[in-house]
A and B are shown apart, each in its own frame.
Chain A
Protein backbone atom coordinates (compact mmCIF):
# COMPACT_ATOMS: atom_id res chain seq x y z
CA UNK A 1 0.00 0.00 0.00
CA UNK A 2 1.43 3.25 -1.12
CA UNK A 3 1.64 5.70 1.75
CA UNK A 4 4.55 7.74 0.50
CA UNK A 5 4.15 11.39 -0.29
CA UNK A 6 6.66 13.78 -1.65
CA UNK A 7 5.35 16.74 0.29
CA UNK A 8 6.41 17.19 3.91
CA UNK A 9 4.05 15.63 6.40
CA UNK A 10 2.28 17.92 8.83
CA UNK A 11 1.72 14.94 11.08
CA UNK A 12 3.40 11.56 11.11
CA UNK A 13 1.79 8.62 12.86
CA UNK A 14 3.84 5.48 13.36
CA UNK A 15 2.71 2.21 14.85
CA UNK A 16 -0.30 3.72 16.57
CA UNK A 17 -2.28 1.19 18.59
CA UNK A 18 -5.24 1.49 20.94
CA UNK A 19 -7.00 -1.50 22.39
CA UNK A 20 -10.55 -1.15 23.70
CA UNK A 21 -11.13 -4.84 24.19
CA UNK A 22 -13.76 -5.51 21.56
CA UNK A 23 -12.30 -2.92 19.23
CA UNK A 24 -8.66 -2.59 18.35
CA UNK A 25 -7.14 0.30 16.42
CA UNK A 26 -3.92 -0.21 14.58
CA UNK A 27 -1.09 -0.62 14.19
CA UNK A 28 -1.40 2.42 11.99
CA UNK A 29 1.21 4.28 9.98
CA UNK A 30 -0.23 7.43 8.52
CA UNK A 31 1.11 10.65 7.06
CA UNK A 32 -0.93 13.82 6.94
CA UNK A 33 0.46 15.94 4.07
CA UNK A 34 1.05 19.58 4.95
CA UNK A 35 -0.80 22.16 2.91
CA UNK A 36 -3.55 19.84 1.74
CA UNK A 37 -7.02 18.66 2.65
CA UNK A 38 -7.06 15.03 3.72
CA UNK A 39 -10.30 13.15 4.05
CA UNK A 40 -10.52 10.34 6.60
CA UNK A 41 -13.33 7.92 5.81
CA UNK A 42 -14.60 4.64 7.05
CA UNK A 43 -17.71 2.97 8.35
CA UNK A 44 -19.02 3.66 11.84
CA UNK A 45 -16.77 1.91 14.29
CA UNK A 46 -13.86 1.79 11.88
CA UNK A 47 -11.78 3.87 14.27
CA UNK A 48 -11.89 7.38 12.81
CA UNK A 49 -12.76 9.10 16.05
CA UNK A 50 -10.29 7.00 18.03
CA UNK A 51 -7.59 7.93 15.57
CA UNK A 52 -8.37 11.63 15.79
CA UNK A 53 -8.52 11.49 19.57
CA UNK A 54 -5.14 9.77 19.65
CA UNK A 55 -3.66 12.46 17.44
CA UNK A 56 -5.07 15.20 19.67
CA UNK A 57 -3.94 13.56 22.88
CA UNK A 58 -7.44 12.96 24.16
CA UNK A 59 -6.71 9.27 24.50
CA UNK A 60 -3.37 7.71 25.25
CA UNK A 61 -2.35 5.14 22.69
CA UNK A 62 -1.12 1.77 23.85
CA UNK A 63 1.76 1.99 21.43
CA UNK A 64 3.16 4.14 18.66
CA UNK A 65 3.96 7.79 18.15
CA UNK A 66 2.39 10.94 16.79
CA UNK A 67 4.79 13.59 15.59
CA UNK A 68 4.24 17.01 14.12
CA UNK A 69 6.62 19.13 12.08
CA UNK A 70 7.16 22.33 14.04
CA UNK A 71 9.99 24.83 13.80
CA UNK A 72 11.61 22.67 11.20
CA UNK A 73 11.77 19.64 13.47
CA UNK A 74 9.59 16.64 14.16
CA UNK A 75 8.23 17.03 17.68
CA UNK A 76 6.03 14.62 19.61
CA UNK A 77 2.38 15.43 19.99
CA UNK A 78 0.42 18.27 18.46
CA UNK A 79 0.83 21.98 19.06
CA UNK A 80 -2.67 22.68 20.35
CA UNK A 81 -2.18 26.43 20.26
CA UNK A 82 -1.98 26.22 16.48
CA UNK A 83 -4.73 23.66 16.02
CA UNK A 84 -8.46 24.19 15.61
CA UNK A 85 -10.74 21.29 16.45
CA UNK A 86 -14.39 20.66 15.63
CA UNK A 87 -16.24 17.63 16.92
CA UNK A 88 -19.72 16.65 15.93
CA UNK A 89 -20.89 17.47 19.46
CA UNK A 90 -20.46 20.85 21.05
CA UNK A 91 -17.90 21.22 23.80
CA UNK A 92 -19.34 24.27 25.49
CA UNK A 93 -21.90 24.88 28.21
CA UNK A 94 -25.43 25.31 26.88
CA UNK A 95 -25.96 28.32 29.18
CA UNK A 96 -23.15 30.28 27.54
CA UNK A 97 -23.79 32.64 24.70
CA UNK A 98 -21.67 32.47 21.56
CA UNK A 99 -19.83 35.56 22.73
CA UNK A 100 -19.42 34.05 26.18
CA UNK A 101 -17.89 30.90 24.77
CA UNK A 102 -15.43 32.99 22.78
CA UNK A 103 -14.54 35.02 25.87
CA UNK A 104 -13.91 31.80 27.77
CA UNK A 105 -11.65 30.31 25.12
CA UNK A 106 -9.81 33.38 23.82
CA UNK A 107 -7.37 33.76 26.73
CA UNK A 108 -5.86 30.40 25.84
CA UNK A 109 -5.26 31.21 22.21
CA UNK A 110 -2.33 33.51 21.51
CA UNK A 111 -3.53 34.38 18.01
CA UNK A 112 -7.21 34.82 18.81
CA UNK A 113 -8.86 37.03 16.22
CA UNK A 114 -12.03 38.56 17.66
CA UNK A 115 -12.87 40.35 14.41
CA UNK A 116 -12.72 37.11 12.48
CA UNK A 117 -14.97 35.45 15.04
CA UNK A 118 -17.55 38.21 14.76
CA UNK A 119 -17.37 38.13 10.96
CA UNK A 120 -17.86 34.39 10.84
CA UNK A 121 -20.84 34.52 13.19
CA UNK A 122 -22.42 37.18 11.02
CA UNK A 123 -21.76 35.18 7.89
CA UNK A 124 -23.17 32.05 9.47
CA UNK A 125 -26.12 34.04 10.81
CA UNK A 126 -25.55 32.93 14.39
CA UNK A 127 -26.41 35.65 16.88
CA UNK A 128 -23.50 36.37 19.19
CA UNK A 129 -25.79 36.70 22.18
CA UNK A 130 -27.78 33.58 21.41
CA UNK A 131 -27.70 31.00 24.18
CA UNK A 132 -25.87 27.99 22.85
CA UNK A 133 -28.49 25.62 24.18
CA UNK A 134 -31.05 27.19 21.85
CA UNK A 135 -29.00 26.80 18.70
CA UNK A 136 -29.92 24.24 16.08
CA UNK A 137 -27.53 21.47 15.21
CA UNK A 138 -26.27 23.32 12.17
CA UNK A 139 -25.80 26.57 14.06
CA UNK A 140 -23.93 24.73 16.79
CA UNK A 141 -21.52 23.23 14.32
CA UNK A 142 -20.98 26.58 12.66
CA UNK A 143 -20.28 28.12 16.05
CA UNK A 144 -17.72 25.39 16.77
CA UNK A 145 -16.12 26.13 13.45
CA UNK A 146 -16.03 29.85 14.17
CA UNK A 147 -14.43 29.18 17.55
CA UNK A 148 -11.85 26.94 15.92
CA UNK A 149 -11.01 29.34 13.10
CA UNK A 150 -10.81 32.42 15.31
CA UNK A 151 -7.81 30.78 16.94
CA UNK A 152 -6.05 31.32 13.62
CA UNK A 153 -4.79 27.78 13.52
CA UNK A 154 -2.51 26.30 10.92
CA UNK A 155 -4.12 22.91 11.28
CA UNK A 156 -7.80 22.08 11.37
CA UNK A 157 -8.91 18.70 12.69
CA UNK A 158 -12.57 17.98 12.10
CA UNK A 159 -14.57 14.96 13.22
CA UNK A 160 -17.80 14.74 11.23
CA UNK A 161 -18.17 18.49 11.00
CA UNK A 162 -20.96 18.41 8.44
CA UNK A 163 -23.09 15.56 9.74
CA UNK A 164 -26.51 16.82 10.75
CA UNK A 165 -26.20 19.86 8.52
CA UNK A 166 -28.64 20.61 5.76
CA UNK A 167 -27.16 21.02 2.27
CA UNK A 168 -27.15 24.79 2.51
CA UNK A 169 -25.25 24.76 5.79
CA UNK A 170 -22.83 22.23 4.38
CA UNK A 171 -22.11 24.52 1.46
CA UNK A 172 -21.38 27.38 3.85
CA UNK A 173 -19.01 25.23 5.84
CA UNK A 174 -17.17 23.88 2.79
CA UNK A 175 -16.77 27.45 1.54
CA UNK A 176 -15.08 28.36 4.78
CA UNK A 177 -12.72 25.40 4.45
CA UNK A 178 -11.82 26.48 0.93
CA UNK A 179 -10.98 29.96 2.16
CA UNK A 180 -8.91 28.57 5.00
CA UNK A 181 -6.86 26.55 2.52
CA UNK A 182 -6.39 29.52 0.21
CA UNK A 183 -5.25 31.79 3.01
CA UNK A 184 -1.87 30.13 3.54
CA UNK A 185 -0.01 27.40 1.72
CA UNK A 186 0.86 25.68 4.98
CA UNK A 187 -2.74 25.39 6.14
CA UNK A 188 -3.77 21.77 6.53
CA UNK A 189 -7.10 20.10 7.12
CA UNK A 190 -7.85 16.61 8.40
CA UNK A 191 -11.50 15.93 7.91
CA UNK A 192 -13.24 12.76 9.00
CA UNK A 193 -16.67 12.30 7.51
CA UNK A 194 -19.44 10.05 6.28
CA UNK A 195 -20.62 12.55 3.76
CA UNK A 196 -18.22 11.66 1.03
CA UNK A 197 -19.67 14.08 -1.49
CA UNK A 198 -18.07 16.84 0.56
CA UNK A 199 -14.72 15.24 -0.04
CA UNK A 200 -15.23 14.57 -3.73
CA UNK A 201 -14.43 18.13 -4.60
CA UNK A 202 -12.16 19.60 -1.99
CA UNK A 203 -10.15 16.67 -0.65
CA UNK A 204 -6.64 16.30 -2.02
CA UNK A 205 -5.80 13.12 -0.16
CA UNK A 206 -7.74 10.18 1.15
CA UNK A 207 -7.24 7.83 4.06
CA UNK A 208 -9.59 4.89 4.44
CA UNK A 209 -10.07 3.08 7.74
CA UNK A 210 -11.79 -0.28 8.09
CA UNK A 211 -11.94 -2.43 11.18
CA UNK A 212 -9.30 -0.36 12.92
CA UNK A 213 -6.81 -0.64 10.08
CA UNK A 214 -5.68 1.78 7.41
CA UNK A 215 -6.69 0.06 4.19
CA UNK A 216 -6.02 2.79 1.66
CA UNK A 217 -3.99 5.97 1.51
CA UNK A 218 -2.87 8.34 -1.21
CA UNK A 219 -3.99 11.26 -3.33
CA UNK A 220 -7.75 11.04 -3.80
CA UNK A 221 -7.80 10.66 -7.57
CA UNK A 222 -5.04 8.06 -7.50
CA UNK A 223 -6.72 5.98 -4.81
CA UNK A 224 -9.99 5.95 -6.70
CA UNK A 225 -8.23 4.97 -9.91
CA UNK A 226 -6.92 1.84 -8.23
CA UNK A 227 -10.42 0.40 -8.03
CA UNK A 228 -13.51 -0.30 -10.07
CA UNK A 229 -17.03 -1.33 -9.19
CA UNK A 230 -18.22 -4.53 -10.82
CA UNK A 231 -21.86 -5.51 -11.15
CA UNK A 232 -23.53 -8.38 -12.94
CA UNK A 233 -25.24 -11.76 -12.75
CA UNK A 234 -23.84 -13.96 -10.00
CA UNK A 235 -23.54 -16.71 -12.54
CA UNK A 236 -20.89 -14.67 -14.33
CA UNK A 237 -18.67 -14.67 -11.27
CA UNK A 238 -15.88 -17.17 -11.65
CA UNK A 239 -14.08 -18.62 -8.65
CA UNK A 240 -10.91 -16.56 -9.09
CA UNK A 241 -13.09 -13.44 -9.58
CA UNK A 242 -14.97 -14.23 -6.38
CA UNK A 243 -11.70 -14.44 -4.50
CA UNK A 244 -10.39 -11.20 -5.96
CA UNK A 245 -13.26 -8.88 -5.09
CA UNK A 246 -13.86 -6.88 -1.91
CA UNK A 247 -17.14 -6.69 -0.08
CA UNK A 248 -19.11 -8.96 -2.38
CA UNK A 249 -22.85 -8.51 -2.14
CA UNK A 250 -25.29 -10.88 -3.83
CA UNK A 251 -28.99 -10.19 -3.99
CA UNK A 252 -31.47 -12.09 -6.18
CA UNK A 253 -28.75 -13.51 -8.37
CA UNK A 254 -27.12 -10.12 -9.01
CA UNK A 255 -23.80 -9.23 -7.45
CA UNK A 256 -21.85 -6.06 -6.87
CA UNK A 257 -18.39 -5.66 -5.47
CA UNK A 258 -15.25 -3.58 -5.49
CA UNK A 259 -12.23 -4.84 -7.32
CA UNK A 260 -8.68 -3.72 -7.88
CA UNK A 261 -8.26 -2.59 -11.48
CA UNK A 262 -5.52 -5.17 -11.93
CA UNK A 263 -8.19 -7.84 -11.80
CA UNK A 264 -10.78 -6.48 -14.20
CA UNK A 265 -9.68 -9.07 -16.76
CA UNK A 266 -11.31 -11.71 -14.57
CA UNK A 267 -14.72 -10.46 -15.63
CA UNK A 268 -16.57 -11.19 -18.82
CA UNK A 269 -18.74 -8.93 -21.01
CA UNK A 270 -21.92 -9.49 -18.95
CA UNK A 271 -20.31 -7.69 -16.05
CA UNK A 272 -20.56 -3.89 -15.78
CA UNK A 273 -17.27 -2.27 -14.82
CA UNK A 274 -17.48 1.30 -13.58
CA UNK A 275 -15.30 3.80 -11.74
CA UNK A 276 -15.42 3.54 -7.95
CA UNK A 277 -16.41 6.43 -5.70
CA UNK A 278 -15.33 7.08 -2.13
CA UNK A 279 -18.56 5.56 -0.82
CA UNK A 280 -17.82 2.37 -2.68
CA UNK A 281 -14.44 2.11 -1.02
CA UNK A 282 -15.93 2.67 2.42
CA UNK A 283 -18.69 0.14 1.92
CA UNK A 284 -16.73 -2.60 0.23
CA UNK A 285 -13.27 -2.31 1.76
CA UNK A 286 -14.89 -2.48 5.15
CA UNK A 287 -15.97 -6.04 4.65
CA UNK A 288 -13.68 -8.96 5.07
CA UNK A 289 -14.71 -11.00 2.04
CA UNK A 290 -12.16 -10.94 -0.76
CA UNK A 291 -8.53 -11.31 0.12
CA UNK A 292 -6.55 -10.06 -2.86
CA UNK A 293 -5.70 -6.35 -2.82
Chain B
Protein backbone atom coordinates (compact mmCIF):
# COMPACT_ATOMS: atom_id res chain seq x y z
CA UNK B 1 0.00 0.00 0.00
CA UNK B 2 2.81 2.40 0.82
CA UNK B 3 4.12 2.03 -2.72
CA UNK B 4 0.73 3.07 -4.04
CA UNK B 5 0.60 6.11 -1.77
CA UNK B 6 4.15 7.06 -2.66
CA UNK B 7 3.15 6.95 -6.29
CA UNK B 8 0.08 9.07 -5.59
CA UNK B 9 2.38 11.77 -4.20
CA UNK B 10 4.52 11.55 -7.31
CA UNK B 11 1.47 11.59 -9.53
CA UNK B 12 0.19 14.72 -7.84
CA UNK B 13 3.52 16.41 -8.61
CA UNK B 14 3.24 15.25 -12.19
CA UNK B 15 -0.25 16.64 -12.55
CA UNK B 16 0.55 19.84 -10.71
CA UNK B 17 3.07 20.59 -13.40
CA UNK B 18 0.44 20.37 -16.11
CA UNK B 19 -2.33 21.87 -14.00
CA UNK B 20 -2.62 25.00 -16.05
CA UNK B 21 -3.58 23.14 -19.19
CA UNK B 22 -6.04 20.99 -17.29
CA UNK B 23 -7.76 23.92 -15.65
CA UNK B 24 -7.86 25.90 -18.88
CA UNK B 25 -9.57 23.07 -20.71
CA UNK B 26 -12.00 22.50 -17.86
CA UNK B 27 -12.73 26.22 -17.51
CA UNK B 28 -13.42 26.62 -21.20
CA UNK B 29 -15.85 23.72 -21.22
CA UNK B 30 -17.57 25.00 -18.14
CA UNK B 31 -18.10 28.42 -19.67
CA UNK B 32 -19.37 27.00 -22.96
CA UNK B 33 -21.85 24.64 -21.37
CA UNK B 34 -23.06 27.24 -18.88
CA UNK B 35 -24.09 29.35 -21.81
CA UNK B 36 -26.17 26.45 -23.15
CA UNK B 37 -27.90 25.22 -19.97
CA UNK B 38 -27.90 27.81 -17.16
CA UNK B 39 -29.74 25.58 -14.68
CA UNK B 40 -27.95 25.38 -11.31
CA UNK B 41 -28.05 21.56 -11.00
CA UNK B 42 -26.65 21.33 -14.52
CA UNK B 43 -23.51 23.09 -13.34
CA UNK B 44 -22.70 19.90 -11.51
CA UNK B 45 -23.10 18.00 -14.76
CA UNK B 46 -20.83 20.46 -16.55
CA UNK B 47 -18.11 20.11 -13.96
CA UNK B 48 -18.20 16.36 -13.91
CA UNK B 49 -18.15 16.34 -17.72
CA UNK B 50 -15.11 18.60 -17.69
CA UNK B 51 -13.44 16.19 -15.29
CA UNK B 52 -13.96 13.37 -17.77
CA UNK B 53 -12.37 15.40 -20.54
CA UNK B 54 -9.22 16.15 -18.56
CA UNK B 55 -8.78 12.61 -17.32
CA UNK B 56 -6.29 11.90 -20.10
CA UNK B 57 -3.94 14.69 -19.05
CA UNK B 58 -1.75 12.62 -16.70
CA UNK B 59 -1.15 10.16 -19.52
CA UNK B 60 -0.23 12.95 -21.87
CA UNK B 61 2.29 14.17 -19.26
CA UNK B 62 3.66 10.64 -18.94
CA UNK B 63 4.25 10.52 -22.67
CA UNK B 64 5.92 13.94 -22.84
CA UNK B 65 8.29 13.25 -20.01
CA UNK B 66 8.84 9.59 -20.83
CA UNK B 67 7.71 9.03 -17.29
CA UNK B 68 6.71 5.43 -17.85
CA UNK B 69 10.41 4.71 -18.08
CA UNK B 70 11.02 6.69 -14.91
CA UNK B 71 8.35 4.74 -13.04
CA UNK B 72 9.86 1.52 -14.32
CA UNK B 73 13.35 2.24 -13.02
CA UNK B 74 12.16 3.43 -9.64
CA UNK B 75 11.55 0.75 -7.02
CA UNK B 76 7.79 0.82 -7.46
CA UNK B 77 5.79 -1.99 -9.04
CA UNK B 78 3.71 -1.53 -12.17
CA UNK B 79 0.56 -2.52 -10.31
CA UNK B 80 1.32 0.13 -7.68
CA UNK B 81 1.65 2.71 -10.43
CA UNK B 82 -1.73 1.69 -11.83
CA UNK B 83 -3.61 1.75 -8.52
CA UNK B 84 -1.93 5.02 -7.59
CA UNK B 85 -2.98 6.60 -10.88
CA UNK B 86 -6.58 5.42 -10.38
CA UNK B 87 -6.58 6.96 -6.92
CA UNK B 88 -5.39 10.33 -8.20
CA UNK B 89 -7.93 10.18 -11.02
CA UNK B 90 -10.66 9.46 -8.51
CA UNK B 91 -9.44 12.38 -6.44
CA UNK B 92 -9.60 14.69 -9.44
CA UNK B 93 -13.12 13.54 -10.35
CA UNK B 94 -14.40 14.03 -6.83
CA UNK B 95 -12.74 17.45 -6.60
CA UNK B 96 -14.32 18.66 -9.81
CA UNK B 97 -17.69 17.35 -8.67
CA UNK B 98 -17.34 19.09 -5.32
CA UNK B 99 -16.50 22.34 -7.07
CA UNK B 100 -19.56 21.80 -9.27
CA UNK B 101 -21.80 21.40 -6.25
CA UNK B 102 -20.38 24.56 -4.64
CA UNK B 103 -20.88 26.51 -7.85
CA UNK B 104 -24.46 25.20 -8.15
CA UNK B 105 -25.21 26.39 -4.64
CA UNK B 106 -23.67 29.76 -5.43
CA UNK B 107 -25.60 30.03 -8.72
CA UNK B 108 -28.89 29.21 -7.03
CA UNK B 109 -28.17 31.79 -4.35
CA UNK B 110 -27.30 34.34 -7.04
CA UNK B 111 -30.65 33.70 -8.72
CA UNK B 112 -32.35 33.85 -5.32
CA UNK B 113 -33.82 30.40 -5.98
CA UNK B 114 -33.80 27.35 -3.76
CA UNK B 115 -31.53 24.63 -5.09
CA UNK B 116 -33.35 21.45 -6.12
CA UNK B 117 -31.43 19.14 -3.80
CA UNK B 118 -32.96 15.95 -5.16
CA UNK B 119 -32.19 16.81 -8.77
CA UNK B 120 -28.72 18.07 -7.87
CA UNK B 121 -27.80 14.93 -6.01
CA UNK B 122 -29.13 12.83 -8.85
CA UNK B 123 -27.10 14.79 -11.40
CA UNK B 124 -24.08 14.45 -9.13
CA UNK B 125 -24.54 10.71 -8.76
CA UNK B 126 -25.19 10.20 -12.45
CA UNK B 127 -22.24 12.42 -13.38
CA UNK B 128 -19.84 10.52 -11.14
CA UNK B 129 -21.15 7.22 -12.41
CA UNK B 130 -20.85 8.20 -16.06
CA UNK B 131 -17.33 9.48 -15.45
CA UNK B 132 -16.47 6.25 -13.72
CA UNK B 133 -17.73 4.40 -16.76
CA UNK B 134 -15.73 6.60 -19.11
CA UNK B 135 -12.54 6.19 -17.09
CA UNK B 136 -13.12 2.48 -16.70
CA UNK B 137 -13.21 2.17 -20.47
CA UNK B 138 -10.40 4.49 -21.54
CA UNK B 139 -7.80 4.03 -18.81
CA UNK B 140 -6.80 0.44 -19.58
CA UNK B 141 -6.29 1.48 -23.20
CA UNK B 142 -4.07 4.35 -22.11
CA UNK B 143 -2.04 2.10 -19.86
CA UNK B 144 -1.65 -0.47 -22.58
CA UNK B 145 -0.51 1.68 -25.48
CA UNK B 146 0.18 5.13 -24.07
CA UNK B 147 -1.34 8.49 -24.92
CA UNK B 148 0.24 8.96 -28.33
CA UNK B 149 -1.24 5.81 -29.78
CA UNK B 150 -4.56 6.14 -28.02
CA UNK B 151 -5.48 9.77 -28.60
CA UNK B 152 -8.85 8.73 -29.93
CA UNK B 153 -9.64 7.53 -26.44
CA UNK B 154 -10.04 11.16 -25.39
CA UNK B 155 -13.33 11.15 -27.28
CA UNK B 156 -14.76 8.43 -25.05
CA UNK B 157 -16.55 10.83 -22.68
CA UNK B 158 -18.27 12.58 -25.54
CA UNK B 159 -19.28 9.30 -27.11
CA UNK B 160 -20.62 7.86 -23.88
CA UNK B 161 -22.58 11.00 -23.10
CA UNK B 162 -24.04 11.09 -26.60
CA UNK B 163 -24.97 7.42 -26.36
CA UNK B 164 -26.78 8.00 -23.10
CA UNK B 165 -28.57 11.05 -24.40
CA UNK B 166 -29.60 9.16 -27.53
CA UNK B 167 -30.93 6.29 -25.45
CA UNK B 168 -32.75 8.55 -23.01
CA UNK B 169 -34.87 10.36 -25.58
CA UNK B 170 -34.98 13.02 -28.26
CA UNK B 171 -34.81 16.03 -25.99
CA UNK B 172 -33.10 17.03 -22.79
CA UNK B 173 -36.48 17.84 -21.28
CA UNK B 174 -37.47 14.19 -21.49
CA UNK B 175 -34.30 13.40 -19.61
CA UNK B 176 -35.18 15.90 -16.90
CA UNK B 177 -38.68 14.50 -16.49
CA UNK B 178 -37.27 10.99 -16.09
CA UNK B 179 -34.67 12.33 -13.72
CA UNK B 180 -37.19 14.12 -11.52
CA UNK B 181 -39.16 10.91 -11.23
CA UNK B 182 -36.06 8.98 -10.28
CA UNK B 183 -35.02 11.67 -7.84
CA UNK B 184 -38.01 10.71 -5.74
CA UNK B 185 -36.31 7.44 -4.89
CA UNK B 186 -33.73 8.82 -2.48
CA UNK B 187 -31.56 5.73 -2.30
CA UNK B 188 -31.07 5.54 -6.07
CA UNK B 189 -28.46 8.29 -6.31
CA UNK B 190 -26.21 6.34 -3.98
CA UNK B 191 -26.27 3.31 -6.23
CA UNK B 192 -24.76 4.96 -9.28
CA UNK B 193 -21.42 6.01 -7.74
CA UNK B 194 -21.13 2.61 -6.11
CA UNK B 195 -21.53 0.90 -9.46
CA UNK B 196 -18.99 3.38 -10.79
CA UNK B 197 -16.47 2.41 -8.13
CA UNK B 198 -16.92 -1.24 -8.93
CA UNK B 199 -16.37 -0.50 -12.61
CA UNK B 200 -13.20 1.43 -11.76
CA UNK B 201 -11.88 -1.35 -9.56
CA UNK B 202 -12.38 -3.88 -12.32
CA UNK B 203 -10.81 -1.49 -14.76
CA UNK B 204 -7.79 -1.09 -12.46
CA UNK B 205 -7.31 -4.83 -12.34
CA UNK B 206 -7.37 -4.96 -16.12
CA UNK B 207 -4.99 -2.00 -16.38
CA UNK B 208 -2.55 -3.57 -13.93
CA UNK B 209 -2.48 -6.67 -16.07
CA UNK B 210 -2.02 -4.77 -19.33
CA UNK B 211 0.53 -2.31 -17.99
CA UNK B 212 2.43 -5.09 -16.33
CA UNK B 213 3.03 -6.71 -19.68
CA UNK B 214 3.79 -3.57 -21.61
CA UNK B 215 7.22 -3.18 -23.20
CA UNK B 216 8.49 0.32 -22.49
Interface residues of A (CB under 8 A from B): 53, 56-60, 79-81, 83, 85, 87, 89-96, 100, 103-105, 107-109
Contacts and interface: CB of A to CB of B under 8 A. Distances in A.
B99 interface: no
Give 5 closest A-B pairs by Cβ, nearest first. A91-B70, A95-B17, A93-B65, A59-B215, A81-B75
Chain A interface, >50% SS class: loop
Given A53-B216, A80-B75, A58 B69 contact: yes
28 contacts: A56-B72, A58-B69, A58-B73, A58-B215, A59-B215, A59-B216, A80-B73, A81-B75, A87-B69, A89-B66, A90-B66, A91-B65, A92-B65, A92-B67, A93-B18, A93-B61, A94-B64, A94-B65, A95-B17, A96-B17, A100-B13, A103-B13, A104-B10, A104-B13, A107-B6, A108-B10, A108-B75, A109-B74
Contacts of A90: 65-66
Contact of A108 (B14, B74, B216): B74
B154 to A, nearest CB: 20
A224 B21 CA distance: 55
Contacts of B64: 93-94
A85 B73 CA distance: 7
B76 A108 contact: yes
Q: Taking each of A53, A56, A80, A108, which has the highest tally of chain B beta carbons within 10 Å of its own beta carbon?
A: A108
A59 B64 CA distance: 20
B9 interface: yes
Nearest to A78: B73
Contacts of B13: 96, 100, 103-104
Contact of A93 (B17, B72, B216): B17
A107 B70 contact: no
B23 to A, nearest CB: 14
A142 to B, nearest CB: 17
Contact of A107 (B9, B213, B215): B9
B70 A92 contact: yes
Contacts of B213: 60
A93 B65 CA distance: 4
A89 B14 CA distance: 18
Contacts of B74: 80, 105, 108-109
Contacts of B18: 93, 95
Interface range on chain B (Cβ under 8 Å from partner): 20 to 34
A191 to B, nearest CB: 16
A287 B213 CA distance: 34
Contacts of A87: 66, 69
Contacts of A95: 17-18
A60 B75 contact: no
Contacts of A92: 65, 67, 70
Contacts of B9: 107
Nearest to B18: A95
A59 B216 CA distance: 6
Contacts of A81: 75
A174 to B, nearest CB: 22
B6 A93 contact: no
A289 to B, nearest CB: 33
B16 to A, nearest CB: 9
B24 to A, nearest CB: 14
A158 to B, nearest CB: 12
A58 B67 CA distance: 12
A58 B10 contact: no
B65 A58 contact: no
Nearest to B213: A60
